Amino acid sequence: MPKIASYNGKVDLIENIKISPMSRAFLFSDSVYEVISFYKNKFIDLETHLDRLNHSLNETKISCSIEDCKSEIEKLLNESNFEDGYIYYQVSRGVDSIRSHFFDENDCERFGFIEEFSFFNQLPLKVMLVEDIRWQRCDIKSTSLLGNVLQMNDAKSAGCKEIIMHKNDELTEGGASNIFFVKDKTIFTPKLSSNILPGITRHQVLKIIKDQKLDFEEGSYGIDDLKEASSIWLTSTTKGIVCVEEIVNLETKINSECQLFKICKNAFIKKYFS
Ligand code: PDD
């Protein structure tokens, strides 16, 4: 099926959508975004994604009606034939007449597209441990992803599909995912801060961990914690919950038979994908 997209509320084939090169998204990456999954034609946690989009809009002072975003996201799903997949949706500060770092009150610019996707082909990942070279507001889901892009592509040259980042030895998150690890039968995840994205899947997995009454802790952790971990997991809207099979530049004790991973993954699939 041809790919459809939405631009400022108008749905069309993606190749028919024309975007100005004076868009602040194009010139400054002055935009924020969401990736929202749907399964059997139903969104997974749409309202939580909209709350996070609202947070990103407020923190970047982009004025945009969240109701418009919601109806455009819903329209994209309604107008496609896809059963399972995700919607990418971004809001920029709009189109300028001249290029200027300074912004005035302008109309926001909204763009989204829908993609078919199967959530059940996730294999354990080979990852690389890298320095977190990003800005200091990673809680905002900004489209300015150059820090992630550069580090992920270095890792790709070493055969990796993801990275695990650390800032001065403190673990932050994956290139496009959040981190969990298991040590001594307890599940750990870095606590929320301006250095990590408050992942929706992270939130879903934490709810499952609490429902299952498993031991867990949110806090600050370092590379030594990873070395001692018996299992490491990454979570995101498109990956779901996936195991790390190897960190190519770090010796670890991880093994693929982690019982806690199986409990969480099975409960996650049962809750969101059945
Ligand atoms: N990224 N951290 C970063 C840096 C991310 O880019 C993402 C997701 C996550 C996980 O968030 P969530 O569980 O809400 O998807 C954490 C999306 C999928 C992307 O950029 O494609």
> How do residues 119-147 score in pLDDT, each as one tens digit?
988 899 999 999 999 999 999 999 999 99
Yes or no: domain 4-116 corresponds to CATH 3.40.50.10070: no
- The pLDDT of residue 4 is 96
> Across the beta sheet with 10-13, what order do the strands follow?
10-13, 4-7, 109-116, 85-92, 31-39, 42-43
Give the ligand 1 atom nearest the CA of 175.
4
Ligand 1 near 177 CB (within 6 A): yes
pLDDT tier at 106 (50, 70, 90 boundaries)?
confident
pLDDT tier at 242 (50, 70, 90 boundaries)?
very high
Q: How far is the CA of 200 from the centre of ligand 1 (A)?
A: 8
Per domain, the residue ranges of the chain are 4-116, 125-272
- Fold match flag (4-116 vs 125-272): no
- The pLDDT of residue 255 is 86
Ligand 1 near 236 CB (within 6 A): yes
Q: Compute the average pLDDT of residues 6-19.
A: 97
Q: Superfamily for 125-272? A: D-amino Acid Aminotransferase, subunit A, domain 2 (3.20.10.10)
Q: Compute the average pLDDT of residues 187-195.
A: 98
- For ligand 1, atom 3, the nearest C-alpha belongs to 176
- The pLDDT of residue 146 is 98
Mean pLDDT for all residues in the chain: 96
pTM over 0.95: yes
User: What whole-number percentage of the chain has pLDDT above 70?
Assistant: 100
What sign does the CA torsion over 225, 257, 207, 184 have? negative
